Copies of this chain bind each other. A is one copy, B any other.
Amino acid sequence: MALTPARTMPGVLELLPLDQIAFQRMLDTIRRNYERFGFLPIETPVIEYSDVLLTKTGGETERQVYFVQSTGALGAADKGDKPELALRFDLTVPLARYVAEHEHDLSFPFRRYQMQRVYRGERAQRGRFREFYQCDIDVIGKDSLSVRYDAEIPAVIYSVFRELDVGAFTIQLNNRKLMRGYFESLGVADSEQQTLVLREVDKLDKRGPGYVRETLTGENFGLSGDVADRILAFVQVRSATVADAFEKLDALGAGSEQFEQGRAELKEVLGLIRDFGVPETHFALNLSIARGLDYYTGTVYETTLNDHQGIGSVCSGGRYENLAGQYTKSHLPGVGISIGLTRLYWQLRDAGLIDTAQSTVDVLVTQMDAAQIPTYLAVATELRNAGIATEVVMDGGKLGKQFKYADRAGIRFAIVIGEDEIAKGVVTVKDLRREDQFEVARDALVKTLRVELAQAEVGR
């Protein structure tokens, strides 16, 4: 029989076990922090009805959707109908559908986290993923939701990224009302045009002020040089501390009602973030941040790694006016963020910030003598019952080969029990990391290894 080449499609990240362990540790860290802040887990199906998924979108997103058909339904596509089912492309639309569908069984404010994979038919390109994890939190209010919740989100981001241990980072904030209000005061009164300007200034940190000024004064926008300069001055505002942020916000002068509302919200949020215990070194105003989606209506967030600005935002989100207007008449305002973990992991690994993990397997019980297998299994059971992950060599073979296997597989301790050890009531422990070995009384083995592993955990 001819062999089929074993391969995956481009744009998916498939990891070897020790890398998968590192990835899983990140997922666990994020989950632990989300739970610590009182967010509840949900999971939604990967496949949704196309009409449910594609109510709002169109444009870019719709061109990237994966449609799904069971074998029986394949014929139907010949008629040119759009298939009935599709894979989710984010977790926000499924959240909206979930909240609308289960509204009467949920308590509000509804605080959910969701960490699942999403699918986009992106062009194949380095660093673009067609399947990737999103790790989202959102707080959804019924009818209303205090702007104070907008301050909780950065507290969660801080807690997550501190534990992910990826170096210094800054949570950057802005407010869309402040931006729109400011543009309004400069004569950019049309909401559509404001949106276009928002999208341009969002490119400031990537493209630089020259590019943005040129675009704003160019044919499509036709703003005067003076207006463009004032927009550029506005969007270049950054703050160092909360006091500095307040000063810079005040220095913007009086403005429209929308502008004043945005300013008041930003000030309340900034003050509360500090009350949440987030150090002032870790959050700042950045008035160029707009986020691409129209969806956001107030506070917006981006998070950047101070020493790796090139990576871009590693965690973004914001406040929205109404989550699920396409499914329900209930008014459901909310605020949330998303971490695109697959891309983040890939970038951090690329930047040398993530190593291949040590194995989740702590101990390999080697096999010196097949007749002693019952002893080996009894030792393994003792270790496992103490929560120490243990593998037993069942196949046998040369001891040197068994050590080599442990070393290659990233297992730290290899245990040897031969005739000598049995006679003396001890076991030999080979520490493959320290390239050291020692004898320990059989009944002290669990305790000894527990201490060694706990020390290694602290030292990580």
Residue positions of A touching B, CB distance < 8 A = 1, 3-9, 12, 14-18, 20-21, 24, 35-38, 40-49, 51-52, 55, 62-72, 74, 77-78, 80, 82-83, 85, 87, 96-98, 100-102, 105-107, 109, 111-112, 117, 119, 121, 130-131, 141, 144-146, 148-149, 151-152, 159, 272, 275-277, 324-329, 359-361, 364, 373-374, 377-378, 381, 384, 387-392, 394-396, 405, 408-409
Contact = CB atoms under 8 A, between A and B. Distances in A.
Contact of A373 (B5, B47, B148, B327): B148
7 A-B pairs closest in CB distance: A38-B391, A70-B121, A6-B100, A17-B40, A148-B394, A6-B327, A6-B101
Given A45-B8, A100-B6, A277-B377, A121 B72 contact: yes
Contacts of A43: 14-15, 20
Contact of A12 (B41, B47, B64, B391): B47
Contacts of A105: 16
B7 A98 contact: no
A7 B16 CA distance: 37
Contacts of A6: 52, 96-98, 100-101, 324, 327-328
Contacts of A78: 77-78, 80
B77 A359 contact: no
A86 to B, nearest CB: 9
A154 to B, nearest CB: 12
12 contacts: A3-B326, A5-B52, A6-B52, A16-B42, A17-B40, A21-B41, A38-B361, A41-B360, A66-B71, A71-B121, A74-B83, A276-B377
B15 A360 contact: no
Contacts of A17: 40-42, 106, 112
A48 B9 contact: yes
B3 A141 contact: no
A389 B41 CA distance: 13
Contacts of A21: 40-41
Nearest to A377: B275
A413 to B, nearest CB: 12
A116 to B, nearest CB: 9
Nearest to A364: B38
Residue among A121, A328, A388 having the largest count of chain B Cβ atoms under 10 Å: A121
A148 B395 contact: yes
Contacts of A9: 45, 47-49, 85
Contacts of A20: 40-43
A12 B36 CA distance: 29
Contacts of A16: 42, 102, 105-106
A117 to B, nearest CB: 7
Contact of A8 (B42, B48, B390): B48
A68 B71 contact: no
Contact of A65 (B71, B121, B275): B71
Contacts of A85: 9, 66
Given A24-B41, A107-B409, A392-B152, A36 B384 contact: yes
Contacts of A44: 8, 14
Nearest to A145: B395
Nearest to A70: B121
A389 B38 contact: yes
A245 to B, nearest CB: 18
Nearest to A13: B45
Given A6-B324, A9-B47, 11 more contacts: A15-B42, A17-B40, A17-B41, A35-B361, A37-B384, A66-B69, A66-B71, A67-B69, A70-B121, A145-B395, A149-B395
Contact of A71 (B37, B64, B100, B394): B64
A46 B14 CA distance: 11
Nearest to A1: B326
A131 B47 contact: yes
Contacts of A146: 394-396
Nearest to A85: B9
A302 B277 CA distance: 53
